[in-house]
Amino acid sequence: MTHTDAYNTIMKTVMPQSFPLGIKLLRAGDEMPEGVTTPKKFGITVYLCQWISMARRFGWAVGLTADDINCTPCLTGFGFKSLADPSALASFFMDMGYFDTIDMARAAADDVTFLDPGSVTGVLAFPLNKAPVDPDVIVVYGTPAQMIRLTYAYMHSFGRPLHSETTFGLSCLAAVMPAISGEATLAIPGRGERIMAGTDDAEMFLTFPEKQLDELTTGLERTQKKGLRFPIQGFGLFQPPLIPPMKKLAEHFIGDK
């Protein structure tokens, strides 16, 4: 199945409000494809989540390197910059108000998996039907109801549940981690992405390795035929009761006894 075919199936069965994305991690020796929009075109530096949002809402193929990014947690998480003091991330969590004790902040920081320093030289994001290169991961944003639609398809194809995580200012890292872990994830974006990238209050996203795309798409098609659809069909085949004011109004119907 082509990326365009998979894109069309996702749009038909899930109906996301923004474009399903492919994301590619550039490695040493990889070049930025022609026609990719970078922040340098506008003379600015940005948050990575902000630029990914441009891809999924504007339909652009976008790219960034370390010089384009001014989000310090992102620079750290992607291995573009290294921390001289490993405890600095825990202090960042404290400064952001996530924790009241440094021990809890350190435990959370220790649980964050960074990309190896120097392993990635840039990031590309693009609508799946306009892929200039083969992506490493697929990212689909939507409402919880749309995510459960994707979850049904995933469970149908792979026979196991999805795990979920809440990000601590590193939604961008959560989006690409399936390229490293090989595991799909339902992610709840943090406040940083919602502030800077305009991610809606009701949005979350599914991210999964590109190698799972064919099976997930097949799961969408098969569960669609079985009636697991979006929009979810609310049950309406029942007779609702008449409340007293409605009964009182009925007393004035002409011709009724």
| 47 to 43, 150, 152: CA distances (angstroms) | 14, 27, 32
Distances (CA, A) of 238 to 39, 74, 195, 228, 234: 55, 52, 43, 21, 12
CA atoms within 13 A on the CB side of 119: 13
pLDDT at 1: 85
Q: What are phi and psi of 186, to 5 degrees?
A: -90, 120
The pLDDT score that the predictor gives to residue 233 is 87
CA–CA dist 215, 153 (Å, integer): 9
State how beta strands 122-127 and 21-26 pair: antiparallel
- Domain borders along the chain are 3-82+117-250
Q: What is the DSSP string of the chain?
A: --HHHHHHHHHHHT--SS--EEEEEE-TT--PPTT-B-GGGGT--B-HHHHHHHHHHH---EEEEGGGB--HHHHHHTTSS--SSTTHHHHHHHHTTS-SSHHHHHHHHHT--PPPTTS--EEEEEEGGG-SS--SEEEEEE-HHHHHHHHHHHHHHHSSPPEEEE-SS-HHHHHHTHHHH---EEEE--HHHHHHS---TT-EEEEEEGGGHHHHHHHHHHHHHTT--SS------S-PPPPHHHHHHHTT-TT--
Provide the β-strand partners of residue 126: 22
The pLDDT assigned to 257 comes to 60
User: What pLDDT does residue 166 have?
Assistant: 79
Q: How far apart are the first and last CA of the chain?
A: 65
pLDDT in tens, the chain (257 residues): 899 999 999 999 999 999 999 999 999 999 999 999 999 999 999 999 999 999 999 999 999 999 999 999 999 999 999 999 989 999 999 999 999 999 999 999 998 889 999 999 999 999 999 999 999 999 999 999 999 999 999 999 999 989 888 776 789 999 999 999 999 999 999 899 999 999 999 999 999 999 999 999 999 999 999 999 999 988 999 999 999 999 999 999 998 66
Bridge partners for 125 per DSSP:
23, 62
